[in-house]
Structure 1
């Protein structure tokens, strides 16, 4: 089984961003199968089963999400990813699912930033300093010339650890703690990475959001909502990585009350195939919501397997 360290040595965030983008730019094979993932709730915990078939491969990811692990100073995500030979169903490689999830989720966010944010964006605000907060710092730096990073987290200890790590890994960046109003006003791109059941963004005047892109990556169940109604009602253009977001995420279920639906919301696939770029970004509020589907995990694990084979 490949460990976190071995996976991150074998592949970069830039590699995963390019792999997912190329998957959509090429004519996708009709033999792809990506069913909706299975959710099994056990009180606050959730088990996720995510299979996918593509080309010569079959992959499945089994992940457990335990939000209360943060109180125990443990990661909230654990799991296994297995890549198989599609024809024989023989296992080819097993992975720690946490770095696979971090890489592909960060890459999805990176593609959202690449296609939707101002090309001159130089500042990001990260709310939540767990695994996905870090992966989105990586992806933002891969697609934009980021200079300043504002960080907010409820746990001061984890906040300080994140800032120290970021300064060590990215010595040219200015990385600083900020309260939410300052983070929002000062950031070109705002990234939410929590599993909160109540909105983490504060209610602010709609004018504050103009010219900004919000990347919401945390909520993956109907009971979770990172974004307040005051923000959702101010969004000019909605985007999703996959249309399953409309029934999986509390944010997008709620967004339907403010006019968002599959007919007027571009998916990541359509954004990439159409080479879509928003017009008049400075006058708009943009939301990209990511929930992730199994094909992205397969693409990531396939890329690693082929690099090491």
Structure 2
């Protein structure tokens, strides 16, 4: 069982709340959210500001979303690059969940936990449209906070019996597997991506790698590729050959075309054209466009995150809290 974000209900004096995250329910909530035209998501605010004690800029990010008359929220994130020397994470944040009618704060959620849960669930939502329904094996590339959540999310919507985990060290990969010993699938740490990648149905990648870890020459017909990391324009997790061999999908055009090297670099070098991109999650969830169209098709999904996902997930966890208190 995976715990959801810490939740502080500010309209009641109550301790921090934890319970299990039902990924199937959260995925369904996200599907409904992407199909709901009333939800409004402005462009996020990005402010770099001086940090004189460190002689290096810090960053403040504000990511709002509104469902008029229902609810609203804003994720507030700070990035302080030198925090390692203070034994603090570089990225810290809070999500403020609001009543959109009366304007009162309903809850405050830990942004890191909220983001990992909604990101993993968004990947699984995309997989429900893009991976083969009989997908039974998953390769997880990366061992960070997202890895375990991505495995839980993907296995909740496909009949996966075998999971493989690769990390920069075999010890980190094994630690992920050790945390999943009581699941319905086997989990095996591996030392080589190349040896296993062509033998699995779904490949999920969540790393900070500046250069590709997934190469098109390794991909086989019918696979689904889920790319979650490489959040900067000069970073990428898959090479141009992977783009050429695949049908490409995004979480949103708004962020997907601008924020990650997995899309920006092939757009800039001519490997990919905007019109080649098949659909985003809005189009898939509202039925405007289709996902996978054949058993042999290789599907390529790039996620950069969206404030709609935060709002929907905050609503889900808040309602879970209210129904269980």
TM-score tier (shorter): 0.7 to 0.9
Give the Cα separation in 2 of the matches to 1:8 and 1:113.
Answer: 27
Number of residue pairs the alignment of both structures matches: 299
Paired residue secondary structure (1:113) = helix
From the CA coordinates, give the structure whose radius of gyration is larger: 2
Is the deviation greater in 260-269 or in 3-12?
3-12
Change (3 A) 1:279 1:265: closer
**Which position in structure 1 is the counterpart of 2:222?**
211
Is the deviation greater in 299-308 or in 259-268?
259-268
For 1:118-197, what aligned pairs fall within 5 Å after superposition? 118-168=132-182, 170=183, 172-178=184-190, 179-197=192-210
Deviations 1:44-84 (A, max 9, x none): 97653211111322211123467898999976753211111
Give the Cα separation in 1 of the matches to 2:21 and 2:59.
Answer: 28
Deviations 1:132-189 (A, max 9, x none): 1111101111100110011100033322211100123x1x311112211123112110
Point out where structure 1 has 5 or more consecutive residues left out of the alignment: none
Given that 1:63 and 1:78 are in contact with CA atoms closer than 8 Å, whether structure 2 keeps it comes out as yes
- Which of the residues 227, 250, 265 maps onto 1:240? 250
- Indicate the RMSD between aligned Cα atoms, in angstroms: 2.9
Give the Cα separation in 2 of the matches to 1:153 and 1:73.
Answer: 23
Given that 1:64 and 1:78 are in contact with CA atoms closer than 8 Å, whether structure 2 keeps it comes out as yes
**Which position in structure 1 is the counterpart of 2:19?**
9
Give the Cα separation in 1 of the matches to 2:126 and 2:244.
Answer: 20
**Which position in structure 1 is the counterpart of 2:72?**
58
- Which of the residues 77, 96, 102 maps onto 2:110? 96
Deviations 1:252-292 (A, max 9, x none): 1123222341564300111122272422232x221011111
Change (3 A) 1:94 1:141: same
Give the Cα separation in 2 of the matches to 1:291 and 1:7.
Answer: 28
Change (3 A) 1:241 1:287: same
Change (3 A) 1:286 1:76: farther
Paired residue secondary structure (1:258) = coil
**Which position in structure 2 is the counterpart of 1:38?**
45
Change (3 A) 1:308 1:21: same
Whether 1:221 and 2:232 are equivalent positions in the alignment is yes
> CA offset at residue 12 of structure 1?
1.8
Which is helix-richer, 1 or 2?
1
Give the Cα separation in 2 of the matches to 1:45 and 1:189.
Answer: 37
Is the deviation greater in 87-96 or in 103-112?
87-96
Change (3 A) 1:66 1:225: farther
Give the Cα separation in 2 of the matches to 1:79 and 1:289.
Answer: 23
Point out where structure 2 has 5 or more consecutive residues left out of the alignment: 8-14, 50-55
Give the Cα separation in 1 of the matches to 2:189 and 2:76.
Answer: 34
Provide the TM-score with structure 2 as the length reference: 0.82
**Which position in structure 1 is the counterpart of 2:278?**
265
**Which position in structure 1 is the counterpart of 2:53?**
none
Change (3 A) 1:69 1:123: farther
Paired residue secondary structure (1:287) = strand
